[in-house]
Amino acid sequence: MEYLELKKLLKFSLKEKEIIKKLEMPEDAFLPLIFSIRFGGDWSLNKNSKKVMSIKEKITRYDKEKKIGYTLEIVYLFLNPILLSQEGTVHRLEKCSNKKERELVKRPYKVIVGSEYILKATMDPLESTIRLKKVNSPLEFTGSSAYGVSHEIEHLEKGEIKGKPFWEFKYLIDD
């Protein structure tokens, strides 16, 4: 890494520390959010009976006339989340970062999540900003974010994700 890049990374990390202090959050509680920002995806962490998870949503805005757009990334950080309700069953394949192969699992289509503290981070690639805002609990999610919530809460409560391996699928030839 170049010296100037290193300096910028250091400045970014220091700013991060400052923000964590301002938000009066334990540093560990901020980690899943940092992971979602740096590496993408959803994350969870269970430490000293404190549970934290981050759920990422993506919204693409595209102007068909100008043919230009951007993808907003919204990360919700939850402190001690609980699943208040869930609705529906969706059979799907999922890849967990702890495992090499995808597995067949069942997830709810809609969830409502309660939490002691929810922080919403909006990453705007046009502005190059990460806006932080405390939001009220509970929150409702549907579709892919609901699957993410269910996946991370399974990690927090049971540790590992349990599903059927892909080799239980059968190839069929249609004619």
The residues that touch Zn ion, with contacts defined as CB under 5 A, are: 96
Which residue has the closest beta carbon to Zn ion? 96
CB of 66 to Zn ion, least distance (A): 38
CB of 146 to Zn ion, least distance (A): 15
Shortest gap between Cβ of 32 and Zn ion (angstroms)?
12
Among residues 45 and 130, whose Cβ is nearest to Zn ion?
45
R_g of the chain, CA atoms, integer Å: 18
Nearest to Zn ion of 20, 163 (CB atom)? 163
Q: Is 103 or 124 the residue whose CB approaches Zn ion more closely?
A: 103
Q: Which is nearer to Zn ion, 20 or 53 (CB)?
A: 53
Block residue for tokens 């059968």: 170
Residue 98 CB, nearest distance to Zn ion (Å)?
6
Nearest approach in angstroms of CB 153 to Zn ion is: 11
Q: Output phi, psi for 31, to 5 deg.
A: -55, -50
Q: Between 86 and 137, whose beta carbon lies closer to Zn ion?
A: 86
- The sign of the CA dihedral 159, 101, 142, 134 is positive
The C-alpha atoms of residue 36 and residue 167 are separated, in whole angstroms, by: 30
One-character DSSP codes across 101-124 = S-EEEEE-SEEEEE-SEEEEEEEE
Residue 149's alpha-carbon distances to 35, 43, 90, in angstroms, are 16, 10, 13
Q: How far apart are CA 164 and CA 175, in angstroms?
A: 28
Tokens read off for 61: 């805005």
